[in-house]
Structures are given as C-alpha cells and as structure tokens.
Chains A and B, each alone.
Chain A
C-alpha cells in the first residue's frame, strides 16, 4: 500500500514541508483502517496550504458485478404469499431495505432473521429472482467517500467531487476554488509523481529507536540513591 500514495507540495519553495508529507501517513492509515487496499489503485495528493488547496485523485478498481435475488435467496410461492428465505445473511439489510421501499414496510412480515412473507400480487417469483438485490459497487464507493472525507483537512468545506473515467477526484478548499489553481494542478498532474526522498520519509517513520537511556522503574530506586 505504501508505494501507492504520492503526496506533493504545489508550493515549490518548500517541497517537503512536514505538514504536506505527513498526509502520506494519514492517507495510508485511513485506507488501512477501512480495508480499501484493493479498491483504490494509485492515489495522488497535491497540497498548497497557502491558497489553501487540497487535491486528491485516485484510480478506482471497483468490481462491477451486481448480485441478483436468485443468488442469495430462495423464493417460493406458498398459499397466496411469496416466501423469501435469505441464504446469505450478510446481505439481509440490503434485501430488506429494497423490499421495504418497493412494497411498503407494513406489507412485509418477517417471522425471523431469514424468513420474509409478502402478498403475491406485487411481483412474480421469476421477476423477483431476476431483481438486483445488492450492488457491491455502492458499498465500496461509500467506503471510499468516507475515507476521502477523513483524509481532507476538516476546515476545507468548499468541495468539488467528480467520478469520471475510472478516476475519483476531490478538490477541497476553504475559499472559492479558482480556475488558475486548477490549471496549476493540471500542469502538476502531467508530470509523473515525484517520490519523497528517503531521509524525509525517515522523519515520518514510526519505529522504536534505540536509545542509551536506561529505563529505571520509577519506584523507590532514585530515592534509595539519594539516601546513600
């Protein structure tokens, strides 16, 4: 994951500003927390804190297949009612939500976690089997948007978001976003992403450092020394 996040400063005077490069650590932790390693391919973050401007773009790698009812439920007709048995319980909230919005919450009776009944006049068994129950893309997209909201500095409330050609792009700022800024961003995007030098990354690395300091239990040790 760590190789996929590229962070650059748009301000050339101080390219490895601590605040800017620390966003590499923040972004990596957020993606790891939300288990998004596979869904976003390469993330590029461009920051100019003086404007201020925060630009994030990432290549989406989201599975397009959707799951129909027939794959996760067993649908039968019983005594003038349609009986749905949920086979895969992980999708139960989505199935319930869909049926409630289509047929009304009062019309669907749920006897236990897996069994649902509703009148057969609404839909035929064949139609229901073909109906798309879950779209995994929606699930993962919500997660990606959540991750991006967590990464962007909180004060940057003016936001533009676009999902185009397999890329998600978010521009955030505190002030109205100007055309010139976007031109500057586009110019920077044409260059290949620059890597942060190893000695700068060293500052961000979090690992136990060797120190000569002896850890003495705080207890009475120092007092004993003083009494001698």
Chain B
C-alpha cells in the first residue's frame, strides 16, 4: 500500500462527488479552494490500486488531474551563499518548480559554502538541512570544484539529496544523484528543454523519496502525518492565530508546527490521536528553525516497544 497524491482542477459544480469518493477511499484532502466556479483540490489517496476510480470520476466531472509526486514533503534548496552569484535565477526557479510538484520548499544559504579550500558547512546548518525530508544542493560550473572540493558540503548529510551543477557528469563523489546542465546561469529558465531539466530534478527527488516510502511500508507509522495534522488543527486553538501561510508543515515522517516550543510543547503533547496521546506516538523536539516545534513520528514497532 503506497500513497499517491494529486491535484484536481475543475468546476466547482459537483466537486463534492470527488470529495466523497476520496473520503470513501480513506484519502485526505490537504487543501480545497473554491474560487467562483473553479475548484482546486489537493488530495492524497492511500492505495495506488484505487487511482483508476479517481480518474473515471475526474473524467465524469470534466476536470483536470495532475500527479503531485512531492506532496507532503519538505525540501531544502541549498546554495553556497545567498549572494547575487547564486540567486535569483537558478535557485528560485528550482524552488518554484518543486513547489509546483507539491513540496514545501525552504531556501538555505550557507555561511561559508563558497570557494574550494574554504568551502565548509557548520553543524547547525547540517542539522537545519536534515530536518527536511530531502535536499537539493545547487553548485557551480567547474568540474574540478565539483569533483575535488564541493563534496565537503554534502558528504555527511543523512537525508536523500540531489546535486545539480553545470557540467554533464556521469557521477560525482559522495552523492547518489546528480543532475547536470544547471550550474551558475545568469538567466531564467524559460525554454522547454530547460523546464525539462527542472522536471528531471523533481523526478530524481521523487525517486529518492520513493525508497524511503518503500521502507516505510515494512514498518509504517501508526497514522499518516496528514491525519495528525488535522487533529492538531482541531485541538490546538492557537494554530488559527499563526500568521504563516502553512502553520503546520507536513513532512514524510513528521510535522513542523510553527508555534513556540517553550510555550506550546505540553499542549501539543497532549493532543489526542485515536486512542493515543501524541507524546506516546511521536517525539516532540525543538526545531532548529526559530522556536518551532518539530514532531518525529515513531514507527509501529517502536510504539510496541514503548
């Protein structure tokens, strides 16, 4: 059983038929926007075998359906620094495209990522990157730098990551996935083959995350993050006062809640999820991002041991 995510775009008329079908299949609606006569529904269904049912329903409603391979993940886009040399063109284009494929993105600029001998990453930066589900490292045009020096930035990263650079290379040291043709570019991605490159990054990332998802099937989480997210929104009233666009960020194996850890830790820990309290099925940690709360869910086997 593995989940599959989609976005539906179509008329608001009779869209409730689709919503009902998703609920019947045990899926989750992540976002529903009704604007005049148009509706946009982002949803996940737990079983791939049910996808044909959804397709038939969408055809019936004369709507559009798009796969969202990265939905429910948080991705870090890492650049050596946030100087003009790296931003805005390459980095912003990659981030925007990952968002279109469904992920939530954060841009991370390292303090001292530039150069050859001087390139380095601090423990705090590494911890911030590892709070995400996956990362994309955007490096430059020189083959020599990529092969000899830049691996210092990502050799100790434990989450799956994709490296993008200028030259077309078969493989690079210390990285499992490399996408060439995207290095230091002084212009925006507009042409079709450039957009294809961005799609290649997204698909590579989705492939890397698929492996984690497959592992998850052997020892799954008690409840999917989306279900817990809904419970927290219902039970912690302070969430409604958070001004961020996504007060709770769903991740593959956890959640990031944008509330101060010191103030709200106990309230979040006491959230009732089914027969359990949240603190019994998850670790509640302070995030390295500001004072946010980071929730890491325990696997089923870990809960049994508890």
- With A49-B145, A154-B83, A211-B193 already in contact, the answer to whether A22 and B166 are too (CB < 8 A) is yes
**In contact, B85 and A150 (Cβ under 8 angstroms):** yes
> Which chain A residues lie closer than 8 Å to B29 at the CB level?
none
Instruction: Output the least CB separation between A115 and chain B (Å).
Output: 38
Cβ-neighbour of A155 out of B65, B84, B118, B166 (below 8 A): B118
A/B pair count, beta carbons within 8 Å:
92
**Interface membership of B187, Cβ < 8 A:** yes
Stretch with Cβ within 8 A of A (4 or more), from B109-117, B227-235, B277-285, B289-297:
B109-117
Stretch with Cβ within 8 A of A (4 or more), from B16-24, B54-62, B208-216, B256-264:
B54-62
> Which chain B residues lie closer than 8 Å to A136 at the CB level?
none
**In contact, A49 and B115 (Cβ under 8 angstroms):** no
**In contact, B143 and A19 (Cβ under 8 angstroms):** yes
**Interface membership of A219, Cβ < 8 A:** yes
What are 25 A-B contacts with C-beta separation under 8 Å? A18-B143, A19-B140, A19-B141, A19-B143, A19-B166, A20-B142, A22-B141, A22-B183, A26-B184, A30-B186, A49-B144, A154-B86, A155-B115, A157-B118, A174-B117, A206-B191, A209-B191, A215-B192, A219-B64, A220-B58, A220-B59, A220-B63, A220-B64, A220-B65, A227-B55
> Which chain B residues lie closer than 8 Å to A208 at the CB level?
191-192
**In contact, B58 and A156 (Cβ under 8 angstroms):** no
> Which chain B residues lie closer than 8 Å to A220 at the CB level?
55, 58-59, 63-65
Which B residue sits closest to A18, measured CB to CB? Answer: B167
Between A18, A29, A224, A226, the greatest number of chain B beta carbons within 10 A of the residue's beta carbon is seen for A18
Residues of A within 8 A of B (CB): 17-20, 22, 25-26, 29-30, 33, 49-50, 52, 150, 153-157, 174-175, 206-209, 211, 215, 218-220, 223-224, 226-227
Sample of 18 more A-B contacts, CB < 8 Å, known A17-B142, A22-B184, A154-B83: A17-B143, A18-B167, A18-B168, A19-B141, A19-B166, A19-B183, A22-B141, A22-B166, A26-B186, A29-B187, A150-B85, A154-B114, A155-B114, A156-B115, A206-B187, A220-B55, A220-B58, A223-B65
**In contact, B167 and A19 (Cβ under 8 angstroms):** yes
**In contact, A227 and B191 (Cβ under 8 angstroms):** no
Cα separation A175 to B65 with both chains bound (whole Å):
54
Encoded as 1 (CB less than 8 Å from any A CB) or 0, chain B from 102 to 130 comes to 00000000000011111100000000000
Which A residue sits closest to B144, measured CB to CB? Answer: A49
**Interface membership of B160, Cβ < 8 A:** no
Cβ-neighbour of B84 out of A20, A150, A156 (below 8 A): A150
**Interface membership of B66, Cβ < 8 A:** yes
Instruction: Output the least CB separation between A96 and chain B (Å).
Output: 29
Secondary structure class of chain B's binding surface, majority of residues: loop
**Interface membership of B204, Cβ < 8 A:** no
Which B residue sits closest to A218, measured CB to CB? Answer: B66
Cα separation A17 to B183 with both chains bound (whole Å):
14
Which B residue sits closest to A219, measured CB to CB? Answer: B64
> Which chain B residues lie closer than 8 Å to A215 at the CB level?
192
**Interface membership of B202, Cβ < 8 A:** no
> Which chain B residues lie closer than 8 Å to A206 at the CB level?
187, 191
Instruction: Output the least CB separation between B210 and chain A (Å).
Output: 20
Cα separation A30 to B89 with both chains bound (whole Å):
13
Which A residue sits closest to B54, measured CB to CB? Answer: A223
**Interface membership of B81, Cβ < 8 A:** yes
Which A residue sits closest to B62, measured CB to CB? Answer: A220
**In contact, B142 and A49 (Cβ under 8 angstroms):** yes
Between B56, B142, B185, the greatest number of chain A beta carbons within 10 A of the residue's beta carbon is seen for B142
**Interface membership of B80, Cβ < 8 A:** yes
Which B residue sits closest to A174, measured CB to CB? Answer: B115
**Complex A-B, nearest 10 residue pairs according to Cβ-Cβ distance, in ascending order:** A155-B115, A19-B142, A29-B186, A155-B114, A19-B141, A219-B64, A154-B114, A223-B55, A154-B85, A18-B167
Cα separation A206 to B187 with both chains bound (whole Å):
10
> Which chain A residues lie closer than 8 Å to B85 at the CB level?
150, 153-154
